[in-house]
């Protein structure tokens, strides 16, 4: 539970959200069902999917750096 209130936990949650939504955007049936709404809670998922697909190199590098930090740094 303490990881929820730390910056590390928040960054991991954000990266996982962006990666998951970007993956769901690649699945055609889920894309029309989940990511078609651009407002509200599903709008956050849509925006995270757009960030994940447009900045895929930066997101993947930050995921690798965060994984290294979580495994070695803590």
Dist CA 48 CA 54 (whole Å)? 10
Dist CA 59 CA 42 (whole Å)? 20
Dist CA 34 CA 45 (whole Å)? 8
pLDDT of residue 44 exceeding 80, the answer is: yes
Q: What is the pTM (predicted TM-score) of this model? A: 0.77
pLDDT of residue 1 exceeding 60, the answer is: no
């Amino acid at each position: 539970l303490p990881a929820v209130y730390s910056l590390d936990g928040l960054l991991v949650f954000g990266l996982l959200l962006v990666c998951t939504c970007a993956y769901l955007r690649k699945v055609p049936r889920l894309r029309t069902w989940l990511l078609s709404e651009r407002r509200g809670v599903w709008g956050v998922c849509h925006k995270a999917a757009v960030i994940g697909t447009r900045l895929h190199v930066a997101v993947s590098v930050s995921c690798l750096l965060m994984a290294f930090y979580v495994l070695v740094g803590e």
